[in-house]
Amino acid sequence: MITHGKSIKIFTGNSNPNLAKAICQELGVPLGNSEVGSFADGENFASIYETVRGSDVFVVQSTCPFEKDGKMHTVNDALMELLIMIDALRRASAGRITAVIPYFGYARQDRKTKPRDPISAKLVANLITRAGADRVLTMDLHANQIQGFFDIPVDNLFGNPIFVDYYAKKFGAHCEDMVVVSPDVGSVARARTFAQKLHMNLAIVDKRRQKANQCEVMNVIGDVEGKECILFDDMVDTAGSLCNAAKAIVEVGGAKKVYACASHGVLSGPALERLANSNIEELALLDTIPAPVGDDELAKSRIKYLTVAPMFAEAIERTYQEISIAKLFN
């Protein structure tokens, strides 16, 4: 018996409304009637224009930079919108509130790397919980231990199956002759799982400084000579590491072609320029973060966006029906 809400209602902030609309289309439900914005002094506000009393409510909001009305907003604006919406829904007597965060910002600040560092990912988890969220639904957290930062249930979806399906269709039987490359040692486990699904071999780009004040030396561990390779990572921010790894695969390893994929395309700063000047044939990204605003058409032509809407819609339906989400990945 479903006791947590009489109906599904989905609302969105301003960071990724197109994804929210696509999820609603998959579920066959209308997007909730609300307004989220900011006052002249920059303070955020949220207004809910329909009843949510007793409903199972899902708030879709990636905590990433976004554009609205020709103005760029920061990750902090996205986070505040999410918190204020959750508070408004809680005060409106929603039956249950799930924060749907396709891209969880601040995830890279998950531990202390030097004295007096904050653990910002834990702080953000506390804020979301304290605002009134009952659950969190997210995708490909930068560090899995972030799930433990929350005192409420967290479902971390995997973008892996989406990429597997895409490349299986794109390359077919040719997949077995290709190589998956991890751009650094920290991404090996993620890349290995992806490679096994496509029956590909695995290689690793190893970066190290031989001496202080010397440039990093790139080594390729594994055989990529004459092969077509897929660089696999969880996130592309300024694209420096990704483009350097692609260069090493070709110049050091002797690879024939390099493709790349990542769950979250932050693409900040010089990312588009670096991609345009790189030897990456195509960068496949999930639409957890909207496409970047910029004039670099060459870089944009190399980026392919794959939608996560069907997966999130299925996860939302399973959450509402109290069915296992883990079975999506079996």
Question: What is the average pLDDT score of the chain?
Answer: 91
Which has the higher per-residue pLDDT, 306 or 177?
306
At residue 1, the pLDDT reads 45
Q: Residue 85: what pLDDT?
A: 98
Residue 207 pLDDT: 75
Q: What is the structure's pLDDT at 301? A: 85
Beta bridge partners of 180: 202, 230
Compute the average pLDDT of residues 56-83: 94
Q: What is the mean pLDDT of residues 139-151?
A: 93
Provide the annotated active-site residues.
Answer: 207
pLDDT of 251-272, one tens digit each? Answer: 988 999 999 999 999 999 898 8
The answer to whether residue 5 scores a pLDDT higher than 70 is no
Residue whose token pair is 């969220």: 133
pLDDT of 123: 96
Query: What does CATH list as the number for 8-158+309-329?
Result: 3.40.50.2020
Q: pLDDT tens across 82-124, in order?
A: 999 999 999 999 999 999 999 999 999 999 988 999 999 999 9
Looking at the domain that runs over 160-306, which CATH code has it been given?
3.40.50.2020
Q: What is the pTM of this model?
A: 0.94
pLDDT tens-place string over residues 215-238: 466 788 899 999 999 999 999 999
**Percent above pLDDT 90 for the chain:** 73
Domain with CATH 3.40.50.2020 in the chain: 8-158+309-329, 160-306
